[in-house]
Amino acid sequence: MTNHFVDYRNADVFLIIGANPAEAHPMAMRSIGMAKGKGAKIIVVDSRFTKTAAKADIYAPLRPGTDITFLYGIMNYAIQNNLYHHEYVVNYTNASYLVSPEYGFADGLFSGLAEKDGKLAYDSKKWDYQKEGENIKKDPTLQHPQCVFQILKKHVSRYDLKTVSQVTGTPEDVLREVCAAYCATGKPGKAGNVIYAMGITQHSYGSQNVRATAMLQLLLGNIGIPGGGVNAQRGKSNVQGCCDMGMLYHLLTGYLKCPDAPKHPTFKDYLKVETPKTSYWSNTPKFLISMLKAWYGEAATQENDFCYDWLPKLNGKDHSHMAIFADMAAEKVKGLFAWGQNPAVGGPQAAAERTALEKLDWMVYIDVFENETAAFWKRPGVNPANIKTEIFMLPAAFSYEKEATVTNSGRWVQFRWKAIEPPGKAKSDLWIADRIFKAIRQEYRAGGKFPAPILNMVWNYDLPGHDEPDLEKVATEVNGYTVADGKVLGTFANLKDDGSTACGVWIYCGYWAIDPKEEDPRLKVPAAQRRSREDKSGLGLYPKWTFSWPLNRRIVYNRCSADPAGRPWNPEKVLMAWDGTKWITNDVPDFKAKDPVTKEPVPPEKTANAPFIMLPEGQGRLFASGMKEGPLPEHYEPVESPVKNLISKQQNNPLAKRWKGEFAKLAETASKEFPYVATTHRLIEHYQTGTETRNSPWLVELMPEMFATISLTLAGRLGIKPGDEVIVSSARGEIKCKANVLPIVKPLRVNGSTIEIVALPWHWGYQGLAQGSIGNDLTPYIGDANTSIPEYKGFLCNIRKA
C-alpha cells in the first residue's frame, strides 16, 4: 500500500475493484465507513454483489478478467473529457517523455515480439525512451505524437464506453456513472482511493491489472496524497513482512534481487546491473554489502567480494510456487519445508499438487494444526502404504504464544507481546529455525559439500539462561548496526558499502532504534514497540504508533501532495508544504527536504521533477518498459474464457505462464462442456485454507460447509434449489458441495450473449472440525507473465445437480 488503513478516512471517492474489505479486511471497511460518514462516495466493481457492494453508492458488476478494459474505460473518459490532473501529469509522470520510433502496437501485440528457444519474449529495447546523450527527450506540451501521453491517449481510445460494456458486461449507464464519480478526483485537492486485492492480481495478466490501477491514479493525481494511493490489501497478517524479509525465490531481503547466474555471474556484474545511476536504488551496493556483512560477519571482506559467491544463484528460470510443484511431480524436488502453509488446499489444481507431495523423500511440516498438507498421506482415496514420504510434523506456537513483529498491509511494523506459553511441546518458529540450523551446522562440522556458508553464517542468538533465542539480537541484526561497536542504526542513509555497517533488511533500518530525541520515557523503546496515539496533523498518521517502513514514512511519494512550487493541492490536508523558506513536514519527506550535508532547506523547484525516488527517471510511469508483455496493459481474455477477445485478434496474454503434462489441463475458448465462468472468493468467517478457522468451534458453527453460489436464472434452468447438492466441474476435475442460490450473482450480457457465473469459496478441506470439498481442485495451472500468480479468478466450469 502506498498509504495505510487509517488514511482511508481522508478519501473523497473509493474505487474498490477486486477486493471485498467488508469480508476479507473488515477493519479496513470500518475506515471506509468513517469516510462515507464524512461524505465520501464508494464505488464497488466486482463480479459478485458482495457485502462491500451492499454499502456502495455505485455497484458495477463486471465479468471476471476484464479489469483492464474497465479501468481503461475510466482513463479514456478522463482524457476525452479533460478531467485528468494536468499539472500533476506533466510534472510528476513520464507523460512528456518521447518513446522510440520503434515502439509500435497492432492487433493486440506490441513491437518486438519474437520466439527464442521455443519461447515467446519481447525485446523491450523497442520501447525505450528517446535520448539526447544521457537526457531523455521530453515534450512538456504533451502534443508530440511519440510522447507517452499521446501514445496512451491513442491506446485507450479503443476502450470507449460502448466497447467496454460489451467486454465487461457492465451496463453502459453504470459505467458512465462510475467514470463521472471517479474522474471527479482528477480535480486538485480531491482524493480518489483505489483499493484492490486478489481480484486484480490472480489473473494471467494480474501485474498489468495492477499497472492499470496505478496509471489511473497517476492520471488523476491521486498518488502521494492523503486519502489517495494504490492500496493492495494483503490477505495475511504478515504477507507484507514475509516479502520484506525476502521470502520469494527471486529476492534477497528488502527487495534486492536474488543473484541470477545468467545476469549476475560475479559480484561486479551484480553491482553493475542492479545499480542505476539515479534513484534511491543507486545505493544498492550499500544495501547488499551490509546484508552480506550481517550474514557472513568477519568472513566477508572487500577482498573476497563480501562472500557474494556464497549466496545461491538462480538459473534464469522460474522457481515460484507452481514451478516448485511441477518440479516436485517430476521428482526433482526431494525434500520440502512447509512452514505455516497449506498448498494441498491453497494451490492451483490442488489435487495435482497433493499428488506431487507423494513424490517427496521427506517433508518437514510446521504449523499449529494438522492441516491437509500435513495429512496428505492419509487423505481420502489413498493408501498410506503406497506413499513413501517421510514426514516430520513440528508443533508451532500461535501468534500470542510468542513475541516478535508483524507488518500489516500499510507497512506498519507492529510488535506483539507474548501472553501465554504455547501448549504441550509447541515452540516458536524462531526456536525451531534456530535449532534446525544449529543441527545442520553440527552435521557439516564433520564435512560435506561446500560447508562454508553454513559454518560461517552469523548465528549468535543464544540468550544465557533462556531456552528461546534472543529476539533482540535477531531484531538488531534485521535493523542494522555499525560493525565496530554494535550500535543500532537509526536510518539506512547511514549504511556503507565498505563493510563497516551490517544490516539484514535495509528497509527495516530504524525499526529497532530508540529515537534519541524522544523525551517521553514510555516512548524510549525500539520504534516498533511504540504505542502513542499522538497525531498532531489530524490526518491519522500516528507517527509514534510503532514504525512504518521506510524511515517511519506513512504515505510514500508524498512530494506529490504539493504542487511543483510546494503548495499543497489540498490546503486542508497538508502532508508537505513549502512556507517560502523551509518545508513543513507532517510526514517523513519522501524527497530531499534538507541537504544532508549542510542541513539547509532544499527549495521545491529542486525536487519537483523527481518525486518518485525509487524510479531511475524520478517520475511516475504511465508507460513502463519493464513489463514482460508490453509497456501498456492490454485486454486479453483469461486463458479459459467463454468468449473471443472483442478488442483484438490476440485471445490470451502471449506470455502467460503455462506448464506441461498433468498441469496442462485446460478448457477451450467458448467450451460447450464448461459453459460458465467460475471465480473463487473468501468469507468473513474463515481465513485462507481454514487451518485455524476450521478448528475454531465458533467460526465453524457460523460457517460450516462448502457451497457454490449461482444466480436465480441458472438455478431455474438447471432445476437446482437452494441447499441441493451439486457437482461443480472443470477441466481439472470435479467437486461436490451445496448450492447457494442468491441474486448476489447475476448473469451478465457480454456482446449479445448471456454469461453465468459460479462463485466458489475455497476455505475447506478434509481435515479439521468442518470438512468439505476443495475449491482449488478446479482452478487452472496458469500464471501471470511477470509474477506467476495463478489465474484463480476467471476460469471455465460446469455445474449440475448431484
Partner 1 sequence: MQKISRRDFLKSLGIGTAGVALFEGASAVPALAKENLPDFKLGPFKLKRTKETASVCAYCGCGCGIIVYSENNKVVFIEGDPDNPINEGALCPKGTTISDVSSFVDKKSHQRVPNRQRVTEVLYRAPGGSNWEVKDWDWAISEIAKRVKKTRDESFEEKDDKGVTVNRTQAIAHLGSATIDNEENYLMYKLMRSLGVINLDHCARL
Among 339, 382, 582, 603, which residue sits at the site for partner 1 (rule: CB under 8 A)?
339
- How far apart (Å, rounded) are the C-alpha atoms in residues 486 and 470? 16
The helix/strand/coil state of 207 is: helix
Cβ distance to partner 1 smaller for residue 457 or 646: 457
Ranges within 267-296 binding partner 1 (CB under 8 A) = 295
Ranges within 569-598 binding partner 1 (CB under 8 A) = none
Ranges within 647-676 binding partner 1 (CB under 8 A) = none
Strands (E), 101-252: 105-106, 109-110, 113-116, 119-122, 131-132, 135-136, 192-196, 230-232
Sorted by sequence, the CB contacts under 8 Å of residue 453 that are 6+ apart come out as 296, 307, 310, 311
Residue 265 in the binding site for partner 1 (CB under 8 A): yes
Peptide bond into 601 cis (omega under 30): no
Cβ distance to partner 1 smaller for residue 313 or 567: 313
- How far apart (Å, rounded) are the C-alpha atoms in residues 726 and 772? 13
Q: How many CA atoms are closer than 13 Å to the CA of 204, on its beta-carbon side?
A: 22
- Number of residues forming the site for partner 1 (CB under 8 A): 179
- Selected range binding partner 1 among 61-69, 278-286, 440-448, 617-625, rule: CB under 8 A: 440-448
- How far apart (Å, rounded) are the C-alpha atoms in residues 702 and 444? 51
Cβ distance to partner 1 smaller for residue 152 or 311: 311
Among 82, 135, 386, 598, which residue sits at the site for partner 1 (rule: CB under 8 A)?
386
DSSP calls for 655-713 = T-EE--GGGG--PPTT-SSS-EEEEEE--TT--TT-TTGGG-HHHHHHS-S-EEEE-HH
Residue 24 in the binding site for partner 1 (CB under 8 A): yes
Q: Is residue 748 within 8 Å of residue 677, measured between CB atoms?
A: no
Among 128, 358, 370, 617, which residue sits at the site for partner 1 (rule: CB under 8 A)?
370
Question: For the chain, how big is the Rg over CA atoms in Å?
Answer: 26
Cell of 725: 447438492
Ranges within 476-505 binding partner 1 (CB under 8 A) = 477-478, 487-488, 490, 504-505
Ranges within 293-332 binding partner 1 (CB under 8 A) = 295, 309-315, 319-321, 323-324, 327-328, 332
Give the H/E segment covering residue 284.
Answer: helix 284-296
Q: Is residue 630 within 8 Å of residue 654, measured between CB atoms?
A: no
Residue 562 in the binding site for partner 1 (CB under 8 A): no
Residue 789 in the binding site for partner 1 (CB under 8 A): yes
Cβ distance to partner 1 smaller for residue 503 or 739: 503
Binding characters for partner 1, 441-460, by CB under 8 A (x = yes): -xxx---xxx--xx--x-x-
- Selected range binding partner 1 among 187-195, 439-447, 586-594, 734-742, rule: CB under 8 A: 439-447
Ranges within 191-210 binding partner 1 (CB under 8 A) = 202
Residue 389 in the binding site for partner 1 (CB under 8 A): yes
Ranges within 735-764 binding partner 1 (CB under 8 A) = none
- How far apart (Å, rounded) are the C-alpha atoms in residues 77 and 86? 14
Among 126, 155, 234, 635, which residue sits at the site for partner 1 (rule: CB under 8 A)?
234
Residue 471 in the binding site for partner 1 (CB under 8 A): yes
- How far apart (Å, rounded) are the C-alpha atoms in residues 362 and 438? 19
Beta carbon of residue 451, minimum distance to partner 1 (angstroms, whole number): 10
- How far apart (Å, rounded) are the C-alpha atoms in residues 204 and 754? 23
Q: Is residue 657 within 8 Å of residue 788, measured between CB atoms?
A: yes
Cβ distance to partner 1 smaller for residue 425 or 536: 425
**Residue carrying C-alpha cell 498518488:** 223
Residue 508 in the binding site for partner 1 (CB under 8 A): yes
Ranges within 402-421 binding partner 1 (CB under 8 A) = 402-410, 412-421
Ranges within 238-257 binding partner 1 (CB under 8 A) = 238-249, 253
Residue 346 in the binding site for partner 1 (CB under 8 A): yes
Cell of 123: 525485446
Ranges within 102-141 binding partner 1 (CB under 8 A) = none
Q: Is residue 355 within 8 Å of residue 732, measured between CB atoms?
A: no
- How far apart (Å, rounded) are the C-alpha atoms in residues 795 and 671? 11
Burial string for 280-293 (b: 16+ CB within 10 Å, else e) reads bbebbbbbbbbbbb
Among 429, 617, 662, 724, which residue sits at the site for partner 1 (rule: CB under 8 A)?
429
Among 399, 491, 648, 713, which residue sits at the site for partner 1 (rule: CB under 8 A)?
399
Cβ distance to partner 1 smaller for residue 42 or 368: 368
Q: Is residue 413 within 8 Å of residue 508, measured between CB atoms?
A: yes
The amino acid sitting at 714 is: L
- Selected range binding partner 1 among 91-99, 143-151, 507-515, 611-619, rule: CB under 8 A: 507-515
Beta carbon of residue 596, minimum distance to partner 1 (angstroms, whole number): 19
Among 125, 131, 162, 378, which residue sits at the site for partner 1 (rule: CB under 8 A)?
378
Ranges within 701-730 binding partner 1 (CB under 8 A) = 702
Residue 6 in the binding site for partner 1 (CB under 8 A): yes
Angle value at C-alpha 197, between 194 and 200, nearest 5 degrees: 85
Among 27, 273, 664, 802, which residue sits at the site for partner 1 (rule: CB under 8 A)?
27
C-alpha to C-alpha distances, 169 to 60, 110, 176, 350, 708, nearest whole angstrom: 9, 26, 13, 30, 21
Among 12, 46, 67, 367, which residue sits at the site for partner 1 (rule: CB under 8 A)?
367
**DSSP 8-state symbol, 298:** G
Beta carbon of residue 688, minimum distance to partner 1 (angstroms, whole number): 8
Q: Is residue 2 within 8 Å of residue 557, measured between CB atoms?
A: yes
Among 427, 573, 635, 681, which residue sits at the site for partner 1 (rule: CB under 8 A)?
427
- Selected range binding partner 1 among 158-166, 219-227, 469-477, 743-751, rule: CB under 8 A: 469-477
- How far apart (Å, rounded) are the C-alpha atoms in residues 499 and 632? 41
Among 377, 492, 663, 674, which residue sits at the site for partner 1 (rule: CB under 8 A)?
377
Cβ distance to partner 1 smaller for residue 160 or 429: 429
Cβ distance to partner 1 smaller for residue 467 or 579: 467
C-alpha to C-alpha distances, 768 to 237, 404, 705, nearest whole angstrom: 21, 28, 12
The amino acid sitting at 269 is: D
Cβ distance to partner 1 smaller for residue 62 or 513: 513
Binding characters for partner 1, 537-556, by CB under 8 A (x = yes): ---x-x--x-----------
Beta carbon of residue 81, minimum distance to partner 1 (angstroms, whole number): 36
Cell of 709: 453460489
Beta carbon of residue 481, minimum distance to partner 1 (angstroms, whole number): 10
Cβ distance to partner 1 smaller for residue 489 or 714: 489
Strand partners, 617: none
- Selected range binding partner 1 among 132-140, 282-290, 368-376, 491-499, rule: CB under 8 A: 368-376
Beta carbon of residue 343, minimum distance to partner 1 (angstroms, whole number): 7
- Selected range binding partner 1 among 95-103, 167-175, 525-533, 666-674, rule: CB under 8 A: 525-533
Beta carbon of residue 303, minimum distance to partner 1 (angstroms, whole number): 16
Give the H/E segment covering residue 798.
Answer: strand 795-801
Sorted by sequence, the CB contacts under 8 Å of residue 519 that are 6+ apart come out as none
Ranges within 30-89 binding partner 1 (CB under 8 A) = 30
Among 38, 131, 268, 388, which residue sits at the site for partner 1 (rule: CB under 8 A)?
388
- Selected range binding partner 1 among 66-74, 218-226, 343-351, 665-673, rule: CB under 8 A: 343-351
- How far apart (Å, rounded) are the C-alpha atoms in residues 371 and 6? 34
